[in-house]
Every structure is written in C-alpha cells, then in structure tokens.
Structure 1
Amino acid sequence: MRDAEPQPVRLADYRPPDWLVDTVDLDISLHPSATRVVARLALRRNPEGEAGAPVVLDGDGLVLVRLALDGKPAAGGAFDASPDRLTLTPSADRFLLEVETLLDPTANTQLMGLYRTGGTYCTQCEPEGFRRITYFPDRSDVLAVYTTRIEADRDAAPVLLGNGNLLRNGPIAGTGRHYAVWHDPWPKPSYLFALVGGRLAKVPGHFVTASGRPVDLGIYVEEGKQDRAGYAMDALRRSMRWDETAFGREYDLDVFNIVAVSDFNMGAMENKGLNVFNDKYVLASPETATDADYANIEAIIAHEYFHNWTGNRITCRDWFQLCLKEGLTVFRDQEFSADQRSRPVKRIADVRLLKAQQFVEDAGPLAHPVRPEMYREINNFYTATVYEKGAEVVRMLKALLGEAGFRAGMDLYFARHDGDAATIEDFLACFAEATGRDLAHFALWYAQSGTPRLDVAGSYDEAAGTYRLDVVQSTPPTPGQPTKAPLLIPLALGLVGPNGHDLPLVLADGTPVEGVLEVTQEKQSFVFTGVGTRPVASLNRGFSASVNLVTDLSTDDLVFLAAHDRDPFNRFDAIQALAVQLLKRGAAEGTLPPHAALLDAARRLLEDGALDPAFKAQALALPGENEIAREIGTQVDPDAVHAARRALRRALAQALTDGFAATYAAMDTPGPYRPDAASAGRRALRTLSLDYLTVPGTPDALQRALARYRAADNMTDRFGTLAVLAQHDSPERREALDDFYVRFEKDPLVIDKWLSLQAQIPEAGTLDRVRALMLLPVFSMSNPNRVRALVGALATGNPTQFNRPDGAGYDFLVDVVLTLDAKNPQLASRLLSAFKTWRQLEPKRAALAERALRKVADAPGLSDDVADIALRALG
C-alpha cells in the first residue's frame, strides 16, 4: 500500500484566512524551460483570523529564487521554505512580500499551473493550480486585484493575454522580446488567474451591452483555423444578450477573450475576462463538426460566460461550495440552450445525461452529497453530482418558488453578494428572504447523498369522485450516510382524462394545486376531489424532482400517456418506461417478453406528424445499456443486457420497417448545412431511421448506409452513418472507417470521433483494436482528448467489452491509469472512476474488478488523485 493516504479536508474545519491579499502584481518572463515569476503581494492580517498567526503560503513543486519583505531581502532565519510551503512571521500587520520563483512550463505534463503545449503558454489554476506558479494563500476566499506583466520572445509568442483589460504593451528594446500589462479591476481568487502566450490568430468580434457600453471580443485559435470559430463567436454574443434579459447580468470589462488550446484537462475554464477552452468546444465547421458538437459549443461557451457572475463576481467561500458556482451555472446554461433550441428536447437530453452519469454515481461507492462534508482530493469532486445534480437542485428550488419568486431570489443574491466568497447558506437565505419561504428542509438536498426513490400509487373512487395518491419516499444508504431523512420534493403532476385533457387539481380541503405537490414526509397521501372519471396520473412532469419514480401505472396507462400526455417529457418517459420493463425482463429471462404495447406506442409516435422530429429521435432511441444496468441494480450481467437490447432493437426494426423507411425519406434536408435546431432534429430522426433500417444487416441495407456515407456533405450525416455501419462487421464498415481516416487524419478533433466509435463497438475484438489504435501516429498519451476519446470511450461507453468476463478490460484500464498517473494524475483519476459501478456486477466480474482496483491501490508512489478514487471505490 501507499506510505500515506491522502489527508482529509473537512467542511467543519473551515476557518477564515489569517492573512488577506489586497493586490497582486505579477511580472512573468516566459521561457520554455526557465520562466521567471516575480509576485508582489500586499498582505494584511485578517481581523477574523487567528491572532498572531504566521503567514503560510501554499506551493506545489516550486523553486524559490528570491524573497523580500517591504523591499528588503528576507534574512535566512526569517522564513521557512520548501517546494510546497512558505512560512514567515512578519512583525507588521501589513507588508509587501516579493517572491521570485522559477518554472519549467515544458516539463509540466500535469497541465496544471503554467504549462506549454504546442508552443503556446497556458495556465489552468482551478482548483489549486496557482500554487504551482508562485507561493500564495491558494484558497477561494482570498480575493485580490491582479495586475500582470507578461513578457516573451516576440517571434515565439506574439500574442500575450491576461485577465481584465489591456493597459499597455510594446517591444523591449534590443532584446527581440515584448511585453503586455493586463489589469483586472475586480477582486478575484487565485483560481481565476490566467495568462496565455503564443502564436495565435484572433477572430475579432464586438458587443454593445444593454447600457450601451462597447466590448471588444476575441477568440484566439491556431493559425488556419479562424474559419472554424464563427459559431463560437455567435454563441458568445447570444449568451451575453440572454444573460442581460434572463438574469439582468451585464458584462463588466472592456474586453472578453477566449483561447482554444489542444491540450487541456477540462472542457473550459472561466478565468475572469480570459476563458481558456479545450479546442473541441470552440472549433466547428459543417465538414468537421456534428450537430451535437455545435450544441455543445453553444452550451459550454454560454456556461463559461455565465460564470462571470455565478462564479467570478460571486465566488465560493471554499471548495465544499463548488456546486454554488457549477450547479447554478449548469442550470443557467441549460435554460439558455432550452430557449435557443427546443425546451422539451433539451430537458430530455439533460435528464438522460443525469441518469446515465449522476444516478449511477449516487448508487455506487463514489456517491457524495451535492455539497460534500469531506474530501481528500478536490480535483475528484468535479463530478456529475456537483454539476448535474447541483443544477437539478436549483431547478427544484425554482419549481417550489415559481418564476417570479425564483427571479426575486436571484436578484437579491446578485445584489447582496457581489464581490463575496459565498456559501450555500448565503444562496438559500436570499430566496427565503425574497419569498418569505422557510427553506431549511429544502437545504437537505445539498447535504444528503443518494437518489431518492418515490413510490406512488393511485386509486380512483368513482362514487365519491375522488382520486387518491399515496406517496412513499426513501433514500438508500450511501457511503458515510447509512440513514436518510425525508426530503422536500416538488412533484409536478397532472391528472389526464380519457380525452387527453388535464383535469382540475383540487385537494379535499378545497385547496387548488398549481401543478406541483410538495412531498415532505416519508409517507403522505393527497386526495383530489371533483374527479368525474378515472384519470391517468402524469407524475414528475418535466422531471421536476431528481428522483427514481416507481408507479403502479399499467402498461395501458403508459401507452395512453405516450400518446396523449400534454407534458412532452412524460410522453417520452412513458415510452421509455415500457422499454425498460421489457429490457429488464429480457436480461433476466434470456428471451424477449411480449412487446406489442411498446410497438403500438412507438408506431403511434412515429406517425404523429405534429411532433418535433428531434423529440421523436429521443423517444424512439432505446435506453442505453448502462441505463438498463442501473435499473436492474444488482447482479448485472452486461452480456445479458446487451442481448436483450439487441433483441428489442431487432423487433422494433422489423415491425416498423415501413414507418422508418417513410421517415427516412421524409427527413431529408436538402440545401446547405445549417446547425439550427429544426435542421438538426430532422437529421437526428433520419439517422435513427437509417439505424433501424440497417439492423437486419442485409447487403441492401448496408449498401444503402454506405451510399449515404459516400454522399454526405456534412459531418453530422457522415459520422452518423459511420456509426450505423460500425455496428456491423462487414466490408462496408471497413471501407467507411478507412475512408474516414484518410479524409481526416490531419484533424485531431475529427479523429477523436473515429477513435471513440471503434472503442465502443460491442465485439470481442474491440480491446485488441483499441490497443492497435494506440500505436497509430494520431494517438498520443500526452493529449487528454485522445486518451478520453479512445480509452475513456471503451471504459464508459462499451459495457460488454470493458466488463469482459475474463477481466482483460479492467486490466487494460488499470495499466493505462498507472502509466498516466505520474504525468497527469487528473486524467488518470477520471479514467479510474469508470469502476464506480463495479459492485453492481454479477459476482465473477465484481471479483475481477475488485482485484484490478486493489492493484491500483497497492501501487507505490500513487498520486493523491488516483489513490483517492481507488480507496473510495474499494470502500
């Protein structure tokens, strides 16, 4: 085992900082292997801190060159310095500390702090990367005003960018170097610091705020890729305008810059005024990006921009409050995308993601509350629970308070905490004050882990004209929380009459219900009066609560809701529930159960001309194998799940051949490619129809798919058809895969799609194929995108081949993780989290997975990132 386990950090141990920093003046001289950083920190003692406490500054592998206090060199005995900490005891309560450190950006393979990639200097400081640049109280509640001077070789790095506004720039006479000085007037924590230097091309833009203030926009990309940044610029402008309209938030600097880099651990980073992006979320053209890529670019550009207020202007007091910026901002970007596209389709997509990632996390050994009480490595808490469930908690708050109450609470939050490092308590207090609502019970959503289960049974009394709902809530034990308290759950519902219209909702005491019931107890009953005919209960409409819903609805009820429910999400959910019932039985029994009801519901939906094609594409896509496994819960056999899903796909394809053929023809989108929602919906439904038409694998079907691949004039059609062909071991698949590689070998982001697709083919030879692909020149273990595209896709997107009964998939992932750990611990730990569901597997596979995890846990010299995941997964 390791010599020492990562030490826990606990929310209960929070103490205010002993020293604050008012201003930070940085002078950074960039060099590939010897970058010099001079930091001048104006420190003052915090009256809320511990009296007489020394100054303790964080570091991480730093080389200290020089130290001065108030302009005088520090005496040898006046401080204690190590690569990871600097401690000094000053005599004054205010002083100026000057620290010089020496960095090697090229050797920084962790991609945290200041690093160099492809000739470009870049930083990533969230959560604790600034300490890899200079000694600093590297915590989110120390806010300072930053001024940064950057200098570099003019030819190697003609572009120099920093936070805030550009004050001045120019050449340094006689040196071949130049400089730029950036000033950010808004106090910020160190994790929001950023600089970029390199040979980059600027795509310029312009925006005028609601108050008439001009803002210069810039998106910086590699030379030659300017034509692929246009959609990102358009998304940025739309995000800025939407935030003014929807939340009253106006941008606050003279410039806003985005930089796209190819080596980046995350999707993007919201550094104040200088967002750094993984280039996959900036670059797009019809020939290289799918509809999904365009939608992701739109959402992530918006997400990082929205952080300007929910994350930057109001930041987190400590990392336990991470959901305060991430969950809230995910909610904001979801609302933006819903307004830009189809709200029902966006909601369906978000819930599918939630169930596929966060519900699985909640059910396994890595479960934790939205606001955890303890962590060992904060990098491992950038999770679906913080992001996606955090967003759902905000959405539930809005469901309880209503549109007006929610907006009033947000307005008060922005007004009261602008410039603060805030907490969840601060956030909820604003809504309580704005609406007069006691939210103490609701706050349990932040503290309690696990996905609640809501059992709902309905009964109709014809003689009394009443309908009764009996509701039982429970939450299963999770690590560290064996017992659970009842939550406040907003349950949106309707009672649908035989004609498909909603009935009035009036409780027995005469109280009208505005579409949302509040479930507050372990057991609760609600009786509705004036119900003249037996209704069908439409429950958790719009997925109003993040719960596992279990109902007594019959097959006929689900078919009825799939055809008539006015709530689009529940129409989708009804047909998915029918499919899940069949797939669970099929996996358990080894044969496909009677399925006429599902076929009937699918046929009606396919033939309904009033429905959005994008909605049809979502509703007719069967639940994925991971989702089915989650519904089964225990003793999961991935091969049995795969077989059940394959059988149901074949049955749907056979029964609805004519309908899919007609839809395929009708959904053609002639003319130039457009990434708008309506066109994307038609393409999605056309590709889904082709997929079902190709299920039989006949020569005619495969040739039809290959013909569409050859004729494609955009990446959505080309890659969608390639994905259809990839499911069939055939000459057509080999031809298309080879052609795709030849076409796009020089475009890494497109090759990522090719790598991922092959890693997810559910065939026995896939693991060997992945190993072979790792040897190609297009693959690099040093690039996170390549690793996630290939290794990550196998581990998270191919249940049968990752969970091979011989354990080879587990052994492969462990070898990759251990290789990566010394170079990029964040990437390694995120790959290892693929083991989060191992306890749900049948005993043989579970034993092999546990053995693989123990191999990681027993490895010498593990990073804290990987050790934390391994130890938590083992429990």
Structure 2
Amino acid sequence: MSQPQAKFLKDYQTPSFQISHIDLNFSLAEKQTELIATSKVIRQGEHNQALVLVGDEIELVSVTVAGEAVSYEQRDGELVIETSLDEFELQITTKLDPEANTSLEGLYMSDGAYCTQCEAEGFRRITYFLDRPDVLAIYTVRIEADKQAFPYLLSNGNLVDSGDTDNGLHFAKWHDPFPKPAYLFALVAGDFDLLEDSFTTCSQRNIKLQVFVDKGNLNKAHHAMASLKKSMKWDESRFNLEYDLDIYMIVAVDFFNMGAMENKGLNVFNTKFVLADKDSATDDDYHGIESVVGHEYFHNWTGNRVTCRDWFQLSLKEGLTVFRDQEFSSDLGSRAVNRIHAIKVIKNQQFAEDSGPMAHPIRPESVIEMNNFYTVTVYNKGAEVIRMMHTLLGEIGFQKGMALYFERHDGQAVTCDDFVAAMQDASGVDLSQFKRWYSQAGTPQVNVKEEFDEENQRYTLTLEQSTPATPDGSAKLPLHIPFDIELLDVAGSQLINKVLDFTEAKQEFTFEGLLQKPVPSLLQNFSAPVKLDFDYSVEQLVHIMRFATSEVAKWEASVALFSQSVWQNVARLQTPQAMFIDPRIVDAFKGVILAQDLDKALMAEILTLASAGSLIEQKACVDLDCLALAREFVVLEIAANCEDELLVKVREQANIDDASARALKNVCLSLLLKVDSNYAALAKQQFESAENMTDSLGALSALNGEPSTVRDQLMTEFEQKWLTTPLVMDKWFGLHATLNSDNCIDKLTSLFEHQAFSFNNPNRVRSLIGIFAAANTFEFHRIDGLGYQFLTDAIIKLNTLNPQVAARIITPLIQFKKFDKVRQQLMANELNRILAVDNLSKDLYEKVTKALV
C-alpha cells in the first residue's frame, strides 16, 4: 500500500474559496439516495486557482457552474473545477448507498433509520465540498422520503416547511440561520417514539425540546430530557449563555462511533447516553447521561457559535467543553467525587498516552488520520489546561475572559491562541508562558524536596520540573504550573493553603513562623496534570487521609498508601522475600470504613483500590507477574483485616435507596468476596432481591473475580432476562470480558456467535473486545500471547468494517514498551501482522507505524 502522508499545522493556509450558502436536497433511498447540493461559492482574494473539493466513496452524477455543465477532473478523492468566475452557483448531484456504509461516517443506516456523522471529515462522504472547519455556510436542507417508513425527517435549525408529495412520499425543509462548518451538518430520518417538553429562556423565549428514541423506549427518555433542561438553565446561570434556535432535538441511535455529536440544534446520540430507567441503567449510567447531554448542549456556544479554524485546534472546543461539563456535574452533584473521576481518566489513560507512541500536545503539530486525535489528551488534558487557567484567573476573571471570547469571535472559526488571548486581555494575567501547555507533549514530572529549619521556624519546599522526551519531538521548556498545597500541623489543623506559581525549572518556596515541621498535602485537587515525586512516609499519608481539608487529597493519599504497599511487595517478590503489609495501612483503610463523618461516595472511591492498569501507569517498566501477585496480596490483606467492618457496611446500606449508599455497599461486597467465597450467598441474595440495575450488576461484579457455579447461574439468569435489551447485554458482555479465567479468551471468542453480538455495532465491540483489552490486564497480557492474538484478529476484521473503532480499541497493544521483552516481542509480532494487512486503513496505519518505531 502507498504510505498515507501526514498533514502539519505549520502548513495551514486560508481557503482559496468560501461557500456562504448551501441548499441540500435529499431523496432518501436505502441503496441509492440522491443528493442535489447547490452552493454559493466566492473566490477569496486575487488568484486564478481551480476550485478543489473533496469527496470519499460517493458516486458523482453531474456538476454545473452558474447553470452550465462544466468540465472537471476527479483525482485521489478530489474534484477539480476550473473556473474564472469570482462568485457563482455550484450544483453537484451525487448518489449514495447508506445501507452499505458500515464505517458510520457520512450518511448511513442505523437500525432502519437514516443517520449522519460528519465530524471530523464525514461530510465528504455525502457530497464533494470544502470539508474543512473554517468554511462556514448557512444551510437549507430539504429531505424527501417514504412517509410511512420515515415519518420524522430532521435536520439542523428550524423547520420552515413540510408536506406530502406524490407516491406516498413526504418532505421537510429545515433552515439554520447560523453559519456552520460541514462537520456540524446532521440529518436523521426514521420512525421513533417522541418525548416533548419545553424550556423558557432567560429572555422569555419558549424553546421546543424533543428527544427521539427507538420504538418502545419512550419511558427511558425522561432522564435525558431532565438533563437537557438542567443544562440549559445551568449555562444561563453560570455562563450567561442562552440557547438561540426555536427547537432543540436529541436523537438516540444504536449504531454510533462516538458518545454523541453536537450538530447544531440536532444532537445525535449513542443510545448509551440517552436511554435509562432504574431497571436497566446503573447510577453511573444516569450520571453519564447527565454529563454527556450537558456536554453536547454546551457545545452550542463552545464549538458551534465559535468553532475551530482547523482540526489541530480541536481542543479549543473539546477541552473547554469537557471543563464545562465537569463543572456542570460538580455544581449539581459531589464536586469531590466528580473531580476524582476526572483525575482517574488523566492518571490511568492520559498519562499512558503521553508515555506511548501516540504522545501529542493538546494542539497536535501533525496528523495522518484526524479521527486518531479524538483522544484523552485533546479532551481531558485539554480540560485540565482550561481548569489551570480558571485557577490562575479565578471565577470572575475566567468569566470575563469567556465573555470577551464570545464578543470577539461569535460566528467565527478561531484558534487556541485566540482563546488564550481573550483570557489574558480580559483578566490582565500574563499567560505567555502558560501557552506552552498547548504545544508541549508529555507529562511533566515535579520532584519535591522538603526542609525544615526548626531553629528559624522555616519550612522550605524545593520544586523541580522536567518533561521526558516524546516521539513528536516537541521542546520541553519549563511550564507555568499552578501548584496547590496545604500544610497541616501535628494535630491536623490547617497552617497554610495556597496555590504556588511554579514557573521555573527549579524553584524554592519558603514558609516562615512554623513551630513544628508540617505535613504537606501537595498538588491538592490535582491542580495540574503532572506526576508528583515526593517521598511520602506512611505516617504523612495517614495524616493526610485523616485531616486534609480537601476530600480529593484524602483519596489521593489512600491511593498512594495502597500503591506504595503493592510496589514494595513487588520488590520483595523479586528479591525474593515474603510479602508483608504495614499494619498502619490496614488501620488507615479500616478508619475510612468506620468514619462517621465521611461522605459515602468518597468512602466508596477510597475503597475502590487502584486497578492493575492504574498501577502499571505509575512505573516506566513493570514486572506483570509479580504485580499480579503483589496486588492480590495487598487487596486480600486489607479486606481480610476489615472483614467485620465491611460486612456491617453492606448490611447498613442494604435498604437505603441512594446512589452513594449503593456504591459503598457494592464495593464492600466485592472486597468481602476476595476474603471468602462463602459470601457468594450474600451476593446471590442481593441479586435476587435487587430493585435496580446498580444492585444487580453490583452483585454480578462482586462474583466476577473468578469462575463459580453461583456466578454462572446468575449470569445465565441475567442473560435470559435482558436478551432483547442491547445496552444491558453490553454490561453482560463486559462482565465476561473482565473474568480472570484461563478459558476467558475461548469464552469471548464463542460470544462472537451470540445473537446479541455484532461486529457492525460499535457498542457491542467495545463492550466485549475493548473492555477485555483495556480492563482485563492479566488475561490480555497472558505470557502465551493469546490475548494479543485475540485483539489482533478482531482489529483485522474491523479494519474494513469500521476502522475508527478498530483504531480506538488497539491502544493497549501499542503501549507495549514498558513490559518484559517476551511480551514486547509478542505484541510487536501482532502489530506487524496488522501492518501486513491489505488496504490497511489510515486510522490503523498511523498508530501501528508509530508504535513500531
């Protein structure tokens, strides 16, 4: 195959032509949809260049310029039209086969409904166009289809006309008055159940709200609707941003590569983030729906009204909007628990990306396949960069910056630099050094040393920052790091709490007038996405767990205590010595269980002991076999020594109808099953009496540690009950994917033939194959290489079906260089097997070649 070529940020050029208006006329048919696209094209500047449009896997029927047929050239996915006109009407007719489109980009079929996905570069699968985010046009869309089969015809903007035509057909015409790039275009046609409501804005405008779901699922749409209304109200009260169209629509489809898409006024969602009732959805599902509905709604301003100039600026909209949805969830729920969830994503996934072959800044400098850069770096580290700006500017300064950003750039396609400039100009805070976060890849490491001068009552912290080299070759200069600290005295009282401006490679901070050496709680609330290197003692960590004013700091200390013990036992096994756990660590966790004033949700987070995957990310090189034994030992020691207290907690929370109580009960039950398999009876009792999915799944998860007859029996009952409910079957597939058993891979392979599984459905693939590779650490990394082979076989199959999904689930395979040489070679062999595949997608080619360097 010819090698795909990278595109570079430095090569950006403004478009030679703009398209100010486009009319799309769709005649929908499953195998042969016809589209007539009529555009108003305007030459930009004085030049005689040809108009070059892009298209992919579409049949071109005709091209006219100013009403006249013209000659044109098709080459390598481009349509080249020579014209001397400076302004003209361009009409292009294309034919599409939505039924055959398994990539789920462009126009495709999802369970009998027409659906589009155009971000990042899917519009070119619909018609030849200037498919780039800095071409903003006003769209008018007419859709015609069979009325009985497709009673709902939806697109962006406001409905301006509709009616019946001949032969049982009908039409709908939509107009979006706000210029938008092609990636925000959307079309949906199908037969749905509809939930309607309304929202009155702060200026007393009445907005129609609609949520479309598959037939029979109307009772599961109410939480999504409630979440939408909360989002609209919150954006007005916190950011003073009001919705701008007359209607807001959400459509839930089962076949969707992403979580959701913020198309202007017509958000298309994966059903996972819309459908919920207490019987079929967990508390985490409810939270996820609220968060994602909020995220897509908040894009209306941060992404739609102000959009990206080019795809290298993706974090401009995604990092900012993730920050906004995190704040939304925190304002509505537990700020500490929401922050912990965000930190876990950074530490467990983003840090791994930073240390792997796909490391890139939040604003990448080059890409081969843009879909590969919808990453935790761009989204979640991007949100951390926004959060640091918020820390430096404060809420008032940050809101002034947001207001100036919209004042300057509403209706424009802009850059990350434009956003930072608005923040700096509105607040007066110099962010010139801070901007390095946008261009510098890798995770900064902050080494901290402490010194106490008792005679002069002076305590000094010396901070030193460095960032390891990354494959992209980006410069590693000192960053502006807001470093939040709290100093505690021996009684646990707060002495000092402040954010340090850490801007130099090495910097000292001195605190005067301290009578005793304090206990430092460093990088509180994870004030910057950095790795902290500080030689905490067990006594200091226990002190922080007990007395830190930050609940997040208490959790961080618990993770550090557990991790220290695991790694110390890895070292003992390598010596070899007998494994051992410090009784003070056991007492610290027992103290958490016994605490009367600790939030239950926080207690559950602390008792959810660090996974093998998260432990792996703490080290540059890992002995997997010793890690498996050491982690199992430490978990068992904590659970066994807290057995009575755990059992009391399970019984105390048993009849409390509260999400935090359920979370605590289920984590305690899972720990009890580590101690004694006889607790399977307790899990079985919970499963049989469960009145909600959280408790049903909690019981099954607790039993999922190892095979047993009780587990098998309950899994069969669960399957029989939920066989025709796809989202619940995803949970069942996920449980199989995480079972630690020698025959795990054989079982997963057999499930490919299960009636509820399909390689064409991204949710099914992620639940069975993706979860196995990402979460079943020791079975995936089997020394016989069967885990790697299993994932590779699936990826090769997906290469032609859905390369986006294939590229997303390959991540655990490309991060192979921190393991032993035997496993490294096994994984490299599988990557070479993928590289040898005929017609390998750009998505996979980019990741595999970078991994094998």
- CA offset at residue 669 of structure 1? 3.4
| Partner Cα separation in structure 2 for residue 795 and residue 575 of structure 1 | 27
Which residue in the other structure is 2:445 paired with?
453
- CA offset at residue 383 of structure 1? 0.5
| Partner Cα separation in structure 2 for residue 495 and residue 650 of structure 1 | 33
Q: Does 1:630 align with 2:617?
A: yes
| Partner Cα separation in structure 1 for residue 665 and residue 323 of structure 2 | 30
Q: Secondary structure at the residue paired with 1:223?
A: coil
**Which consecutive residues of structure 2, in runs of 5 or more, have no partner in the other structure?**
none
Q: Secondary structure at the residue paired with 1:648?
A: helix
| Partner Cα separation in structure 1 for residue 232 and residue 305 of structure 2 | 15
Alignment match of 1:569 (pick from 552, 558, 561):
552
- CA offset at residue 661 of structure 1? 1.4
| Partner Cα separation in structure 1 for residue 797 and residue 355 of structure 2 | 29
Which residue in the other structure is 1:361 paired with?
353
| Partner Cα separation in structure 1 for residue 444 and residue 94 of structure 2 | 50
- CA offset at residue 310 of structure 1? 0.5
CA contact (8 A) 1:669 1:683 kept: no
Q: Does 1:194 align with 2:186?
A: yes
| Partner Cα separation in structure 1 for residue 363 and residue 474 of structure 2 | 17
Q: Which amino acid aligns with 1:664?
A: V
| Partner Cα separation in structure 2 for residue 21 and residue 669 of structure 1 | 61
- CA offset at residue 628 of structure 1? 0.8
Which residue in the other structure is 1:822 paired with?
800
Deviations 1:816-837 (A, max 9, x none): 1111111111111112222232
Q: Does 1:60 align with 2:38?
A: no
CA contact (8 A) 1:18 1:46 kept: yes
| Partner Cα separation in structure 2 for residue 836 and residue 665 of structure 1 | 44
Q: Does 1:719 align with 2:697?
A: yes
Which residue in the other structure is 2:109 paired with?
116
| Partner Cα separation in structure 1 for residue 809 and residue 558 of structure 2 | 33
Q: Which moved more, 1:269-278 or 1:771-780?
A: 771-780
Alignment match of 1:845 (pick from 811, 816, 823):
823
- CA offset at residue 482 of structure 1? 6.8
CA contact (8 A) 1:64 1:101 kept: yes
Alignment match of 2:566 (pick from 580, 583, 592):
583
Q: Secondary structure at the residue paired with 1:472?
A: strand
Q: Does 1:255 align with 2:277?
A: no
| Partner Cα separation in structure 1 for residue 489 and residue 338 of structure 2 | 27
Q: Does 1:606 align with 2:584?
A: no
| Partner Cα separation in structure 1 for residue 620 and residue 25 of structure 2 | 55
Q: Does 1:133 align with 2:126?
A: yes
- CA offset at residue 73 of structure 1? 2.2
- CA offset at residue 742 of structure 1? 0.5
Which residue in the other structure is 2:17 paired with?
19
What is the correspondence of 1:172-571 to structure 2 with a 5 Å cutoff?
A: 172=165, 174-481=166-473, 484-504=476-496, 515-571=498-554
The percentage of counterpart residues that share the same residue type is 43
CA contact (8 A) 1:626 1:799 kept: yes
Which residue in the other structure is 1:659 paired with?
645
Deviations 1:412-464 (A, max 9, x none): 11111111101011000001101122211101111111111111111111211
| Partner Cα separation in structure 2 for residue 266 and residue 435 of structure 1 | 36
Q: Which moved more, 1:276-285 or 1:827-836?
A: 827-836
Q: Which amino acid aligns with 1:702?
A: A
| Partner Cα separation in structure 1 for residue 631 and residue 536 of structure 2 | 23
Alignment match of 1:71 (pick from 67, 76, 82):
67
Deviations 1:596-637 (A, max 9, x none): 121111111211111110000001111110111111221x23
Which residue in the other structure is 1:51 paired with?
47
CA contact (8 A) 1:538 1:561 kept: yes
| Partner Cα separation in structure 2 for residue 861 and residue 443 of structure 1 | 40
Q: Does 1:831 align with 2:829?
A: no
| Partner Cα separation in structure 1 for residue 524 and residue 48 of structure 2 | 57
Alignment match of 1:694 (pick from 673, 680, 687):
673
| Partner Cα separation in structure 2 for residue 838 and residue 477 of structure 1 | 17
| Partner Cα separation in structure 2 for residue 592 and residue 291 of structure 1 | 37
Q: Which amino acid aligns with 2:357?
A: P
Q: Which moved more, 1:257-266 or 1:51-60?
A: 51-60
Which residue in the other structure is 1:509 paired with?
none
- CA offset at residue 483 of structure 1? 5.1
| Partner Cα separation in structure 2 for residue 191 and residue 552 of structure 1 | 49
Deviations 1:366-388 (A, max 9, x none): 11111100000000000010011
Q: Secondary structure at the residue paired with 2:2?
A: coil
| Partner Cα separation in structure 2 for residue 200 and residue 652 of structure 1 | 51
Runs of 4+ in 1 over 6 A off after TM superposition: none
CA contact (8 A) 2:464 2:506 kept: yes
CA contact (8 A) 2:22 2:139 kept: yes
Q: Secondary structure at the residue paired with 1:794?
A: helix
* TM-score (norm: length of structure 1): 0.96
Q: Which amino acid aligns with 1:580?
A: S
Q: Secondary structure at the residue paired with 1:631?
A: coil
Q: Which moved more, 1:283-292 or 1:481-490?
A: 481-490
Q: Which moved more, 1:852-861 or 1:221-230?
A: 852-861
Q: Secondary structure at the residue paired with 1:134?
A: coil
CA contact (8 A) 2:441 2:474 kept: no
| Partner Cα separation in structure 2 for residue 158 and residue 82 of structure 1 | 39
Which residue in the other structure is 1:89 paired with?
82
Q: Secondary structure at the residue paired with 1:771?
A: helix
Q: Secondary structure at the residue paired with 2:617?
A: helix
| Partner Cα separation in structure 2 for residue 669 and residue 417 of structure 1 | 53
CA contact (8 A) 1:24 1:144 kept: yes
Deviations 1:248-286 (A, max 9, x none): 110000000000000001110000000000001000010
Q: Which amino acid aligns with 1:450?
A: G
| Partner Cα separation in structure 1 for residue 312 and residue 571 of structure 2 | 41
CA contact (8 A) 1:64 1:83 kept: no
Q: Secondary structure at the residue paired with 1:822?
A: helix
Taking a change above 3 Å as real, the CA distance of residues 82 and 669 of structure 1, as seen in their structure-2 partners, is: farther
**Which consecutive residues of structure 1, in runs of 5 or more, have no partner in the other structure?**
506-514, 674-678
Which residue in the other structure is 1:511 paired with?
none
Q: Which amino acid aligns with 2:458?
A: T
| Partner Cα separation in structure 1 for residue 732 and residue 696 of structure 2 | 11
- CA offset at residue 82 of structure 1? 4.6
CA contact (8 A) 2:623 2:819 kept: yes
| Partner Cα separation in structure 2 for residue 416 and residue 837 of structure 1 | 42
CA contact (8 A) 2:706 2:740 kept: no
- CA offset at residue 809 of structure 1? 1.0
| Partner Cα separation in structure 1 for residue 127 and residue 142 of structure 2 | 15
| Partner Cα separation in structure 2 for residue 751 and residue 698 of structure 1 | 26
**Aligned residues: CA RMSD:** 1.2
Which residue in the other structure is 1:510 paired with?
none
Q: Secondary structure at the residue paired with 2:795?
A: helix
CA contact (8 A) 1:70 1:95 kept: yes
Q: Secondary structure at the residue paired with 2:108?
A: strand
CA contact (8 A) 2:439 2:474 kept: no
Deviations 1:471-514 (A, max 9, x none): 11111111022751111100011111122221146xxxxxxxxx
- CA offset at residue 707 of structure 1? 1.0
Q: Which moved more, 1:551-560 or 1:203-212?
A: 551-560
- CA offset at residue 365 of structure 1? 1.1
What is the correspondence of 1:676-695 to structure 2 with a 5 Å cutoff?
A: 679-695=658-674
CA contact (8 A) 1:661 1:689 kept: yes
Q: Which moved more, 1:182-191 or 1:830-839?
A: 830-839
